[in-house]
A and B are shown apart, each in its own frame.
Chain A
Amino acid sequence: MPAEQAQVSIKGTNEGLTVHFPDGPEFSELLESLRTKLQENESFFRGAEVVLELEERPLQEEEFQALEQLVSALNMGIKGISSNSPVTKMLGQSKNIRILSGSSIIHSPKLVAQRAGHTRRQWKAAPSPIRTSALEKGQEPALLMKRGLRAGQRIHFDGHVVVLGDVNPGAEIVATRSIIVLGALRGIAHAGATGSEDAAVIALNLQPTQLRISSHVGIAPDARTTRSRAHVPEIARIRDGGILIEAYSTKE
């Protein structure tokens, strides 16, 4: 019996076209199978943007380059990578490719994170590093965390982050847009991480160890209060070249 040929599978999903690379076969064989599939339907694939689905495989730099070459020959773009391998995720990050949720947004295992249901449609059109103009005005992706973060837990997200719970000392949130904590923010928050000066951090109880907005850094006063006081919701944002914290109000 002839050995079955290693195959990638291509399917249409919410995210667009997804190319699945099973874990078993050599990557080079999978690449050949992808080449054949693309050539068979060249007109269909031309210009498409695809998501790579890689299971546990640690993708190597050279492998990625070969893949990139293959798709760019058809003017195709890679708009995201979904993987369980930290190596692959880091490679994707270093290439500025979006790492899809479920794989890497949450660095702590199995932490429950969900995109808000009503942002789903916006999310499909969410900015990828390749195409950033698809969002309608005022629509941005957001990550809804259904529980708080404990020491050692981190999230990185390209968009806004909303946390339903406390962000404890030793936890860290990095978002390219604003961060909203419906609870106490005692850890580290970095809003506008890619340079958005208009990003803000809002918390019901704003007591961060360190607060960063864009390239500005604010640290908590050294005197550690052992007893917490009752707090009003506060907002931190950039004003006059520094981080200003004031009571949060909807009247602007």
Chain B
Amino acid sequence: MGQVIVVTSGKGGVGKTTCSANLGSGLAQLGKRVVLVDADIGLRNLDIVMGLENRIVFDLVDIVEGKCRSYRQALIKDKRFPNLFLIPASQTKDKEAVSPEQMQVICEELRQNFDYIFIDCPAGIEHGFRNAIAGADSALVVTTPEVSAVRDADRVIGLLESEEKYNPRLILNRLRPDQVRRGNSMSISDVQEILNIEILGIVPEDEGIVVSSNKGEPIVLDPHSKAGAAYRHIVRRLDDPSLPLSLGERNGGILGRLRKLFIRDQAAL
């Protein structure tokens, strides 16, 4: 039985879709059977980030409306991994085209055939959010170290906690150690102090992300990228929950510095 993980944030533009694409690709690289579901109906993006836009025939709304025989027909096979699939969102319908109950049914079906099902949640806390979390077992909350993003993440965590089943874990995205050092950005522990949930992983700011999104090549597959390395670490932690949060290589490198910063940060508490 696979696990259904919703990737959510509250605020838009903090990296939910990038995160879904990279975690899905990373787990596929480890040989897991993975499906990515784009629940952002009307504003689909995940297909572009995955570089699969031109292969779309059926989408999530078609499955719900019975326009394809089963969900299998809407599955788009990834270019790189035969064990990675995408169910795209509809571009033309809106969020009300799907109900939370229908999402639950789809998630249950997918669970039978995949190890990991990622639901890419739309921004906001309205109908689309309710749909995206309906069939999920757990939630990953993505935030950047900005006051507004953290505020929205806090709101979303509150909503998830009130349902008492999602065990939300945090991905802190676009951290800039240099800005933290200068006191211009929230630090890891500043964010942790407010949100107070388990940190699954920390992804440093990386200009390569924009390039990879535009090319449709998830950065987790790039062995030289620092963000890619961070995503690979998160992937390993998803697969093996006993693995501790590591903040990078033993010495040098951006992650090494990041780690020193975190340790100093904690010492300051």
Check: A232 CB closer than 8 A to any chain B CB. Answer: no
Q: Which of A150, A166, A170 has the most CB of B within 10 A?
A: A150
Q: What class of interface size applies to chain B in its complex with A?
A: 20 to 34
B residues near A166, Cβ cutoff 8 Å: 194, 196
Check: B206 CB closer than 8 A to any chain A CB. Answer: no
- CA distance in complex: A162, B83 (Å): 52
Interface residues of A in 151-183 (CB under 8 A from B): 151-153, 166, 168-170
Interface residues of A in 180-211 (CB under 8 A from B): 184, 186
If A151-B152, A152-B155, A169-B151 touch, whether A110 touches B193 (CB-CB below 8 Å) is: no
Query: Shortest beta-carbon distance, A155 to chain B, in Å?
Result: 13
CB < 8 Å: which of B161, B163, B184, B190 contacts A150?
Answer: B161
If A151-B151, A169-B194 touch, whether A226 touches B158 (CB-CB below 8 Å) is: no
Query: Shortest beta-carbon distance, A62 to chain B, in Å?
Result: 33
Check: B245 CB closer than 8 A to any chain A CB. Answer: no
- CA distance in complex: A184, B193 (Å): 10
If A109-B162, A227-B190 touch, whether A170 touches B155 (CB-CB below 8 Å) is: yes
Check: A108 CB closer than 8 A to any chain B CB. Answer: yes
- B70-90 vs A, Cβ < 8 Å mask (1 yes, 0 no): 000000000000000000000
Check: A43 CB closer than 8 A to any chain B CB. Answer: no
B residues near A94, Cβ cutoff 8 Å: none
A residues near B190, Cβ cutoff 8 Å: 226-228
Q: How many residue pairs bridge A and B at CB < 8 Å?
A: 49
State whether A110 touches B164 (Cβ < 8 A): yes
- CA distance in complex: A226, B179 (Å): 12
B residues near A228, Cβ cutoff 8 Å: 190, 193
Q: Which residue of B lies closest to A153 (CB)?
A: B158
A residues near B164, Cβ cutoff 8 Å: 110
B residues near A148, Cβ cutoff 8 Å: 196
B residues near A226, Cβ cutoff 8 Å: 183-187, 190
Q: Which residue of B lies closest to A149 (CB)?
A: B158
CB < 8 Å: which of A150, A224, A227 contacts B155?
Answer: A150
Query: Shortest beta-carbon distance, B76 to chain A, in Å?
Result: 36
Interface residues of A in 101-130 (CB under 8 A from B): 108-111
Q: Which residue of A lies closest to B265 (CB)?
A: A227
Query: Shortest beta-carbon distance, A205 to chain B, in Å?
Result: 10
State whether A110 touches B162 (Cβ < 8 A): yes
Query: Shortest beta-carbon distance, A109 to chain B, in Å?
Result: 5
Query: Shortest beta-carbon distance, A230 to chain B, in Å?
Result: 8
Count of chain A residues with a beta carbon within 8 Å of a chain B beta carbon: 20
- A210-252 vs B, Cβ < 8 Å mask (1 yes, 0 no): 0000000000000010111000000000000000000000000
A residues near B157, Cβ cutoff 8 Å: 150
- CA distance in complex: A186, B159 (Å): 19
State whether B158 touches A150 (Cβ < 8 A): yes
Interface residues of B in 149-193 (CB under 8 A from A): 151-152, 154-155, 157-159, 161-164, 183-187, 190, 193
- CA distance in complex: A224, B185 (Å): 11
Check: B243 CB closer than 8 A to any chain A CB. Answer: no
If A150-B154, A224-B147, A226-B183 touch, whether A111 touches B162 (CB-CB below 8 Å) is: yes
If A109-B162, A110-B164 touch, whether A227 touches B194 (CB-CB below 8 Å) is: no
A residues near B193, Cβ cutoff 8 Å: 184, 228
Query: Shortest beta-carbon distance, B243 to chain A, in Å?
Result: 28
- CA distance in complex: A227, B191 (Å): 10
Query: Shortest beta-carbon distance, B14 to chain A, in Å?
Result: 15
- CA distance in complex: A152, B155 (Å): 6
State whether A170 touches B147 (Cβ < 8 A): no
Q: Which residue of A lies closest to B160 (CB)?
A: A150
CB < 8 Å: which of A108, A224, A227 contacts B162?
Answer: A108
| B residues apposed to A, CB below 8 Å | 147, 151-152, 154-155, 157-159, 161-164, 183-187, 190, 193-194, 196, 268
Given A110-B162, A227-B268, output 11 extra A-B contacts at Cβ < 8 Å.
A108-B158, A110-B163, A150-B154, A151-B151, A151-B155, A168-B194, A169-B194, A226-B183, A226-B186, A226-B187, A227-B183
9 A–B contacts from the bound complex (CB under 8 Å): A108-B162, A151-B154, A153-B158, A166-B194, A170-B155, A226-B183, A226-B184, A226-B187, A228-B193
5 closest Cβ pairs, A-B complex:
A150-B158, A151-B154, A151-B155, A152-B155, A150-B154
